[in-house]
Amino acid sequence: MKKLTVLHLLGVAGMATFLASSAYAQSTSHFYGGGSVGQSRTEMDPAHTTGVLLPGVNTTGVATDNKDKAFKLFGGYQINRNIALEAGFFDLGKNRFSTSTSPSGTLSGETRVQGLNFDLVGTLPLTERFSALARVGAQHAWSKDRFSGTGAGAGIPSSSKHNDSNYKVGLGVQYEMTPAFWIRGDVERYRIKDAVGRRANVDVASVSLVFPFGRAPERVAAAPVYVAPAPMPEPVAVAPAPAPVVMAPAPQRVSFSADTLFGFDKSTVRPEGRVELDKFSNQLSGTSYQSISVEGHTDRLGSTEYNQTLSEERAESVKNYLVTSGNIDPTRISAVGKSETQPVTAAGDCSDKQARPSLINCLQPDRRVEVEVTGTR
C-alpha cells in the first residue's frame, strides 16, 4: 500500500478536527478573494529522469535547482466560521537540472508547473482574530518541459507537455488585521507528475492577503408602531364617567458594556455577554411591553463608516440573541447603530496623546449597547 506523507496525514487529521469543532460555528457566510506569494521546493530525481529519457546511458554527475518563486490567486465562500470552499490558479515556478552522462555528453532540463485547485478549508478560531487553518483538495496541473543535450543527449526532444490531476493538502494560520483585511501564512503540498511520469511532491510556503466582502448584516425592518383601538362610544342616555388619565409608561433603559458582550472590534456575543443578556431577558418575564429598542454605540477610534457598521452589527447580534434565546417577540424589537455620535465620556476626558492601550481603556464607557424597554408590568 502506498505510504502517506506526514503532511498529508496532518492535513486530513487537522481537517477532521476543524469539522468537529461545531461549538465555534456561527452565521458568518461571505465571499472572499486574495493572492499569495512564496517559495516552492520541488522533489527531483535527475538520474532517474536521465535514465528514462536516454535508455542505456549512465549518469555520472548531477546539478539541480529545485527552488523558485510561487504565487496563487484565489477566491472562496465561507459557509460558516469553520468551513469554506476555495478555488484558485497557482504557479509553482520552475525547477531545473543538468546531468553529465556516460557515454560522454550532457542533458539539461527545465519544467514549469501551473494549474487550478479546489479546496475544502477548515478554520479553528484560537482567539477573536487569530485562527488555525487546514485544507485538503484536488488540483489539476499542466507542466511544460524543455530539454537540451550534447553527445549522448543530443537527440532528445526539445520540449514536451503533460497534464495530471491529484490531491493537495496544507496547514496554516490566519490573522484578521481588520474586518476587511486578513493575512495568512500557509504551507502546502502539491502532488504532481514529472516529465517521465514519476510522482513527485512540490512544497510551497507562502504569505497571502485576503479580502472578505459581502459581510454586511441583514437589515431588519423596524417594529411596527402600536396604535391603540378607538374607544367604544358611551350610551347617550347615561352620562359617561370621567375618563381616567393614563400616563404613558416611562421607557426603561439598560446599558451593557460592549467589552463584556463582545471582543474588541468584534460583533459576536461572547459567553460572558450571553450570561448578562440571559439575566436581562429573565427580568422581562411577565412584563407587558410595547417595544424594545437596541442601540449599538462605539468609541471614536476608527473611521465613522467602520464604526457605523460595527455598531449596527453589535445591535443586530444582541437583538438576534434576545429573540432566539430570550424568546422576545421579534415584531416588537428593533436594532439601530449610533456609531460614535453619542459618547458617554466628555470631550476632554481622554486625550489622544496618551498611549493607545490607555486611550482604549479610557474610552471604554463609550463602547456599549443600550436596550430601551417601553411598557408596564
Angle between helices 271-283 and 304-324 (to 10 degrees): 60
Residues 76 and 145 in one domain: yes
d(CA 30, CA 320): 19
- The reply to whether 74 falls in a domain is yes
- The reply to whether 285 falls in a domain is yes
Cis bond before residue 157 (omega within 30° of 0)? no
Residues 310 and 370 in one domain: yes
Q: Give me the numbers of helices (H) and strands (E) for the chain, helices first please.
A: 6, 13
Q: What residue numbers bound the domain in which 143 lies?
A: 6-213
71-96 b/e with 16+ CB inside 10 Å = b?
A: bbebebebbebbbbebebebbbbbbb
Residues 332 and 185 in one domain: no
Q: Is residue 373 within 8 Å of 252, Cβ to Cβ? A: yes
Count how many domains the chain has.
2
Domain containing 356 — which CATH number?
Answer: 3.30.1330.60
Residues 171 and 88 in one domain: yes
Task: Tell me the pLDDT of the chain (377 aa) as tens digits.
Answer: 444 444 444 444 454 444 444 333 334 688 999 999 999 999 999 988 888 888 888 899 999 999 999 999 999 999 998 999 999 999 999 999 999 998 888 999 999 999 999 999 999 999 888 999 999 999 999 999 999 989 887 878 778 888 999 999 999 999 999 989 999 999 999 999 888 888 999 999 999 999 998 764 444 444 455 555 666 655 555 555 555 544 445 678 888 888 888 887 888 999 988 999 989 888 887 777 788 999 999 999 889 999 999 999 999 999 999 999 888 889 889 999 999 999 999 878 898 888 888 888 898 999 999 998 887 55
Residues 334 and 195 in one domain: no
- The reply to whether 221 falls in a domain is no
Of the candidates 194, 185, 165, the residue with the CA atom closest to the CA atom of residue 46: 194
- The reply to whether 235 falls in a domain is no
Cross-strand pairs, 291? 374
- The reply to whether 47 falls in a domain is yes
Edge-to-edge, what's the strand order for the sheet holding 288-297? Answer: 252-257, 368-376, 288-297, 333-337
d(CA 12, CA 15): 5
β pairing state of 288-297 and 333-337: parallel
Q: What's the number of CA atoms in the CB half-sphere (13 Å) around residue 246? A: 6
Domain containing 194 — which CATH number?
Answer: 2.40.160.20
d(CA 3, CA 5): 7
Residue 35: CB atoms within 10 Å: 15
Give residue 118's region: left, alpha or beta (phi > 0; psi -120 to 50): beta
- The reply to whether 66 falls in a domain is yes
d(CA 282, CA 156): 82
The single-letter DSSP state of residue 365 is G
Which residue, 185, 213, 241, sits at the end of a domain? 213
Q: Is residue 135 within 8 Å of 119, Cβ to Cβ? A: yes
Written in H, E and C, the secondary structure of 296-343 is EECCCCCCHHHHHHHHHHHHHHHHHHHHHCCCCCHHHEEEEECCCCCC
d(CA 34, CA 119): 15
With residue 203 as reference, give the H or E element that holds it: strand 199-213
Residues 100 and 33 in one domain: yes
Question: Residue 309, class by beta-carbon neighbours within 10 Å (0-12 exposed, 13-18 middle, 19+ buried)?
Answer: buried
Residues 278 and 341 in one domain: yes
Residues 22 and 106 in one domain: yes
The Cα-based distances of 134 to 29, 74, 153, 168, 341 in angstroms read: 18, 16, 44, 11, 42
d(CA 223, CA 203): 56
Residues 289 and 338 in one domain: yes
d(CA 74, CA 132): 18
Of the candidates 256, 128, 140, the residue with the CA atom closest to the CA atom of residue 182: 128
- The reply to whether 48 falls in a domain is yes
